[in-house]
Chains A and B, each alone.
Chain A
Amino acid sequence: MADLRINLAGIQSPNPFWLASAPPTNSGYQVQRAFEAGWGGAVWKTLGDPILNVSSRFAAVSFNGQKVAGFNNIELITDRPLEVNLKEIYETKKKFPNHAIIASLMVEPKQEKWHEIVKRVEDVGVDGLELNFGCPHGMAERGMGAASGQVPELVQKQTYWVKEVAKTPVIVKLTPNITDITVTAEAAVEGGADAISMINTINSLAAVDIDTWDTVPHVGGKGAHGGYCGPAVKPIALHMVGECARNPRINVPISGIGGISNWQNAVEFMLMGATGVQVCTAAMHHGFRIVEDMIEGLNNYLDEKGIASVSELVGKSVQKYSDWGDLDLNYKIVARINNDTCINCNKCHIACEDTSHQCIDMLKDESGKGYLKVREEDCVGCNLCSIVCPVDGAIDMVEVKSGLPPMTWNERQAALGILACGVDPVTK
């Protein structure tokens, strides 16, 4: 049995699976149910001045029969008074002292507002704070959430105000609705953040009903943009985690969020630099008990790899995540079709012929039976054929030696620059 405990900037939890601040962590009843199911921590649904919500609130994007490939919501922060939430946080922490409870907070960008809520929340025994600088809808129209999270100076200043009074670790939750998330991440670090979490939801409109012409969701025939999450956003989140993890100026732990649906996704985020993960959509889709499979799967994975502690995974893939200009231009892979496995559906041929590099030939053997063959010299190793192939193992992407030494774009451009300057690098 591997050690699944994590310590994120001083916040300890029995495993790396936390529920993200969202509808599943709206009340003590829910968080206690989650802890009973096995979740290691919960970020309480954002506390602030109680808001008013609308009906309806959620929409999902299904794709080719997969329900909830993406999830969209227009629900705001808590609509319950602070005292009610604090009482339930206190009771929950008392019942589950070894589980992490982090309070998500959002108030107007005023020093006294942050000081007040931090003090009141810490008084009931939370393990940490998460500053919600990411909620993209509703609250952003009032200058909070993503509206302040998109301005590095506001991120830095508000983090600093919180750190002036906070006694527990401060996590800054970042919005992905920005060109370069490392800019706001750096601002959080400069403000004194103990950790950062990402990503909050992405501005979205789930759909338009082509019969009624209403937006999905709609509120009495009118819609507004929401926040997108779920499996569809995982690649975006993973990239942002990786960008922050490999930035030397962002030297604080990361709590990974965004489409994490199973233990494999959690491993990916941890390998890319996250100390732990937060989950929402998968729990909303399947219930709290999905954490049982997550814990079991992660434990088995670690045992099979001979890894004693889950913390050993953190950041192991970060060095492999680089810039395009540092990739080897002379590394070459090609597609190979296994004709014993191939079902001759021709999807690879069509994809290659129509949209890639026209290097899969449809041939016939001596008996007249059709088969597919890759002209490897013309294959650029794009992967498209193996991506569209419906049969596992029918197409392998294999490395072939180019016969040339490794050479990156940056090295090439430097060599061209030297040539243009007329400098002889050997004699110099």
Chain B
Amino acid sequence: MSEYQDFLQERDRLDFMIQQGYSIKNIIENLSGAFVELENKEGEKETLQILTPDGRKYFSVLLLKQQKTGAL
């Protein structure tokens, strides 16, 4: 599978979480990639590991949007 397909999967997972009312609460980046911690209004938490560079760009755009508008 190409890296692009991996990215599409990561993007879908991020979009799904946002659609479910989650917002980004923390991001940890290390040698294993990035771990995006999300939380909804009920306090439920989810963590997504993002491996592709395009995926890391994508959640960064989501984060900037979240910080700019207060919503995703």
Chain A positions near chain B (C-beta within 8 angstroms): 329-330, 375, 377-378, 404-405, 407, 411-412, 415-416, 418-420, 424-427
19 contacts between A and B (CB under 8 A): A329-B57, A375-B4, A378-B4, A404-B61, A407-B57, A407-B60, A407-B64, A412-B64, A415-B60, A415-B63, A415-B64, A415-B67, A416-B60, A419-B25, A419-B27, A419-B63, A420-B27, A425-B67, A427-B70
The residues of A that contact B69 with a CB separation of less than 8 Å are: 426
With the chains together, A419 CA to B28 CA distance in Å? 10
The residues of A that contact B70 with a CB separation of less than 8 Å are: 424, 426-427
Name which residue of chain B comes closest to A376, CB basis: B4
The residues of B that contact A416 with a CB separation of less than 8 Å are: 27, 29, 60, 63
Query: Which of A329, A377, A419, A420 contacts B4 (CB under 8 A)?
Result: A377
The residues of B that contact A415 with a CB separation of less than 8 Å are: 60, 63-64, 67
With the chains together, A322 CA to B68 CA distance in Å? 25
The residues of A that contact B26 with a CB separation of less than 8 Å are: 419-420
With the chains together, A407 CA to B57 CA distance in Å? 9
Other CB < 8 Å A-B pairs besides A377-B4, A419-B67, 5 of them? Answer: A416-B60, A419-B25, A419-B63, A426-B67, A426-B69
With the chains together, A377 CA to B2 CA distance in Å? 9
The residues of B that contact A329 with a CB separation of less than 8 Å are: 57, 60
Q: How far is the CB of A334 from chain B (nearest CB, A)?
A: 11
Name which residue of chain A comes closest to B2, CB basis: A378
The residues of B that contact A419 with a CB separation of less than 8 Å are: 24-27, 63, 67
Query: Which of A375, A425, A426 contacts B2 (CB under 8 A)?
Result: A375
Q: Classify chain B: how many residues form its interface, as a range.
A: 10 to 19
With the chains together, A416 CA to B57 CA distance in Å? 12
Name which residue of chain B comes closest to A379, CB basis: B4
**Interface core residue of B25, B29, B58, B64 (most chain A CB under 10 Å):** B64
Query: Which of B2, B4, B60 contacts A412 (CB under 8 A)?
Result: B60
Contact with A along B3-37 (1 / 0, CB 8 A): 11000000000000000000011110100000000
Chain B positions near chain A (C-beta within 8 angstroms): 2-4, 24-27, 29, 57-58, 60-61, 63-64, 67-70
The residues of A that contact B24 with a CB separation of less than 8 Å are: 419
Q: How many A-B residue pairs have CB under 8 A?
A: 50
Interface of A, helix, strand, loop or mixed by DSSP:
loop
The residues of B that contact A407 with a CB separation of less than 8 Å are: 57, 60-61, 64
With the chains together, A34 CA to B53 CA distance in Å? 55
With the chains together, A330 CA to B54 CA distance in Å? 9
The residues of A that contact B2 with a CB separation of less than 8 Å are: 375, 377-378
Establish whether residues A426 and B58, one from each chain, have CB atoms under 8 Å apart when the complex forms: no
Name which residue of chain A comes closest to B57, CB basis: A329
With the chains together, A425 CA to B68 CA distance in Å? 7
With the chains together, A426 CA to B63 CA distance in Å? 12
With the chains together, A404 CA to B26 CA distance in Å? 21
Query: Which of A330, A420, A427 contacts B57 (CB under 8 A)?
Result: A330
The residues of A that contact B27 with a CB separation of less than 8 Å are: 416, 419-420
With the chains together, A173 CA to B57 CA distance in Å? 43
Query: Which of A378, A411, A412 contacts B3 (CB under 8 A)?
Result: A378
The residues of B that contact A426 with a CB separation of less than 8 Å are: 67-70
**Interface core residue of A404, A405, A415 (most chain B CB under 10 Å):** A415
The residues of B that contact A418 with a CB separation of less than 8 Å are: 67
Name which residue of chain A comes closest to B28, CB basis: A420
The residues of B that contact A412 with a CB separation of less than 8 Å are: 57, 60, 63-64
Establish whether residues A404 and B67, one from each chain, have CB atoms under 8 Å apart when the complex forms: no
With the chains together, A101 CA to B12 CA distance in Å? 68
With the chains together, A405 CA to B24 CA distance in Å? 18
The residues of B that contact A411 with a CB separation of less than 8 Å are: 64
With the chains together, A140 CA to B60 CA distance in Å? 50
Q: How far is the CB of A420 from chain B (nearest CB, A)?
A: 8
Establish whether residues A404 and B68, one from each chain, have CB atoms under 8 Å apart when the complex forms: no
The residues of B that contact A378 with a CB separation of less than 8 Å are: 2-4
Name which residue of chain B comes closest to A411, CB basis: B64
Establish whether residues B58 and A404, one from each chain, have CB atoms under 8 Å apart when the complex forms: yes
Q: How far is the CB of B45 from chain A (nearest CB, A)?
A: 15
With the chains together, A375 CA to B1 CA distance in Å? 13
Q: How far is the CB of A423 from chain B (nearest CB, A)?
A: 9
With the chains together, A127 CA to B38 CA distance in Å? 68
The residues of A that contact B4 with a CB separation of less than 8 Å are: 375, 377-378
With the chains together, A68 CA to B61 CA distance in Å? 48
